[in-house]
Amino acid sequence: MISNLNNHWNTAYNNEDEQLGWFEAIPLQTIELVNACDLQKDATILNVGAGTTTLIDALIEEKFTNIIANDLSELALQKLKQRIKKSHNYNLTCIQDDLTNPDKLNKIQNVDLWIDRAVLHFFLKEKEQRSYFNLIQKVVRKKGYVIIAVFSLEGAQKCCGLDLKRYNVEILQNNLGPNFTLIKTFNHTFINPFGGERPYVYTLFQRQL
Ligand SMILES: C[S@@+](CC[C@H](N)C(=O)[O-])C[C@H]1O[C@@H](n2cnc3c(N)ncnc32)[C@H](O)[C@@H]1O
């Protein structure tokens, strides 16, 4: 069944990528955190809520060979696949699934790096947040990494017409639990395509056991 949220996101992706409020031409901050991980080029990288992000192009340019892009919106994934096919000779795995009620993502194992930019903050219900963090526990391997970049406590209260839950490092750490060690964090104010300031907190954690 196609949910209202699914329609909401598919409608957003009818716009040109450059017109999306979260569009970044070069995902510098995320790549900085990816480079802080000790990863082989064939590491399994799962980008959740990827949309049509240029991060996938950047990971391919960094020569990573095992990239999975997830999104709720099948339109976003279609557009992403088409762009990647045109611009890179590369086979990308795309998984349409709901992070708050996964039925495909939870079958993945041994993820070396989980990357989320701007998705977790849409999950307002505790049950949705629990599903998201349970999925991390399920799929990220021992010594694997987790990058989460979300709206900080100073951030906007809405994005794409939806209410948000905002975060700081402590809240993220509490949700991940003591088995995840904070490796690096910084604040970054993203300037969106319309000139608006959007303060984010960027975090990199490593799973211990
Ligand atoms: C603000 S956009 C960020 C997209 C991308 N990460 C980026 O940085 O360009 C949020 C994305 O999360 C996706 N999304 C929203 N709810 C989701 C869910 N429950 N499961 C998977 N993806 C979801 C949306 O379709 C959208 O592509």
Query: Rounded to the nearest 10 degrees, what angle do helices 126-139 and 169-176 cross at?
Result: 60
CA distances to 29, 126, 203 from 191, rounded to whole Å, are 13, 29, 19
Mutational test site, ligand 1, from 77, 119, 134, 165, max ligand atoms within 8 Å of CB: 119
Distance 54 CA to ligand 1 centre (A): 13
Q: What's the rounded mean pLDDT across residues 182-206?
A: 97
116 neighbors 150 (Cβ within 8 angstroms): yes
Which tokens in the block code for residue 54? Answer: 């240029």
| Domain range for 112 | 4-207
- Residues above pLDDT 90, as percent of the chain: 97
Distance 118 CA to ligand 1 centre (A): 7
Backbone angles phi, psi at 60, to 5 degrees: -65, -40
Give the end-to-end CA distance of the chain in Å, rounded to a whole number.
Answer: 37
Distance 70 CA to ligand 1 centre (A): 8
The model carries a pTM of: 0.98
pLDDT at res. 156:
85
Q: Is 69 in the pocket of ligand 1 (CB under 6 A)?
A: no
Task: List the residue whose alpha carbon is closest to atom 11 of ligand 1.
Answer: 49
pLDDT at res. 85:
94
Of the pLDDT bands very low, low, confident and very high (cuts 50, 70, 90), residue 2 is low
Q: Which amino acid is at 47?
A: N
Of the pLDDT bands very low, low, confident and very high (cuts 50, 70, 90), residue 134 is very high
Tell me the pLDDT tens digit for each residue of 86-127.
999 999 999 999 999 999 999 999 999 999 999 999 999 999
Q: Considering its fold, how many domains does the chain have in total?
A: 1
Mutational test site, ligand 1, from 19, 29, 72, max ligand atoms within 8 Å of CB: 72
Mutational test site, ligand 1, from 18, 71, 99, 105, max ligand atoms within 8 Å of CB: 71
Task: Calculate the CA 69 to chain-centre distance.
Answer: 9
pLDDT at res. 155:
83
Q: What's the rounded mean pLDDT across residues 6-17?
A: 96
Of the pLDDT bands very low, low, confident and very high (cuts 50, 70, 90), residue 129 is very high
Q: Which residues of 191-200 are buried (b: 16+ CB within 10 A; e: fewer)?
A: eeeeeeebeb
CA distances to 10, 16, 66, 206 from 112, rounded to whole Å, are 29, 31, 10, 10
Q: Are strands 162-163 and 158-159 parallel, antiparallel or unpaired?
A: antiparallel
Q: What's the CATH number where 126 sits?
A: 3.40.50.150
49 neighbors 73 (Cβ within 8 angstroms): no
Closest CA to 52 of 90, 93, 88, 81: 81
